[in-house]
Amino acid sequence: MPATPEARARTRAFARVIGPFLVIVPAIVAVRAADTGTTLTAFFENAALVWITGGLLLFGGLLIIAHHQYWSGLSAILISLFGWYLALRGVVLLAAPHLIASVAAAAINMLPVVQIGFGLLVLMGLWLTYVGWIAKPPAVLESTPRNEKEHPGTSPPIAKPRGAA
């Protein structure tokens, strides 16, 4: 089923935000991957920070899930999957932060794999940035005539101002 104009516009709007985010943040993480061990250790030592981060991830994911329920086209699928990823990661961080801490600790010993993973996120961000900011939106067909001369009798009625005869 083809996407509606509203779905395409919403996908474009989400791509404008998520795209640059996924270019900037994962690129910095990939470049600074060697320093992440100390950062992750400090992060998981602060239970309040872990809890707040989990709550924000869940909130952001639910926001995307609630306002972007579209699965037609690559960009729409990527955005919807990103929303689900954020929500699920937020729940795990709230309910079982030790799971994410153990995966993060194991990932520190596999820096090339981590850099490749974040590199893929950067590519996804570049695609979404292109879709949101650079690509021209698809043309929308007009459903109403431009003027009465082109299609007599089909223009919508014009409301008269109050007090007019």
**Within a domain: residue 42?**
yes
Q: Give the pLDDT confidence score for residue 2 in this predicted structure.
A: 80
Q: Give the pLDDT confidence score for residue 111 in this predicted structure.
A: 87
At position 66, the amino acid (one-letter code) is: A
Range of the domain at 39: 5-133
Positions of E strands within the chain: none
Tens place of pLDDT per residue across the chain (165 aa): 688 999 999 999 999 999 999 999 999 998 888 888 889 999 999 999 999 999 999 999 999 999 999 999 999 999 999 999 999 999 999 999 999 999 988 988 898 898 899 999 999 999 999 999 999 987 654 444 455 555 555 555 555 566 655
**Within a domain: residue 122?**
yes
Environment class of residue 149 by beta-carbon count within 10 Å: exposed (0-12), middle (13-18) or buried (19+)? exposed
**Within a domain: residue 163?**
no
Cβ(58)–Cβ(50) under 8 Å?
no
Report the candidate in 42, 38, 62, 59 with the shortest Cα–Cα distance to residue 50.
Answer: 42
* CB-based contacts of 39, cutoff 8 Å, min separation 6: none
Q: Give the pLDDT confidence score for residue 141 in this predicted structure.
A: 46
> How many independent structural domains does the chain possess?
1
Q: Give the pLDDT confidence score for residue 144 in this predicted structure.
A: 46
**Within a domain: residue 148?**
no
**Within a domain: residue 143?**
no
CA 55 to CA 26: how far, in whole Å? Answer: 20
**Within a domain: residue 160?**
no
Instruction: Tell me the H-state helices in the chain.
Output: 5-31, 36-45, 47-67, 74-95, 97-108, 111-129
Q: Give the pLDDT confidence score for residue 154 in this predicted structure.
A: 55
Cβ(50)–Cβ(25) under 8 Å?
no
**Within a domain: residue 157?**
no
**Within a domain: residue 58?**
yes
CA 86 to CA 64: how far, in whole Å? Answer: 9
Matching residue, tokens 């909130």: 59
Matching residue, tokens 């955005």: 79
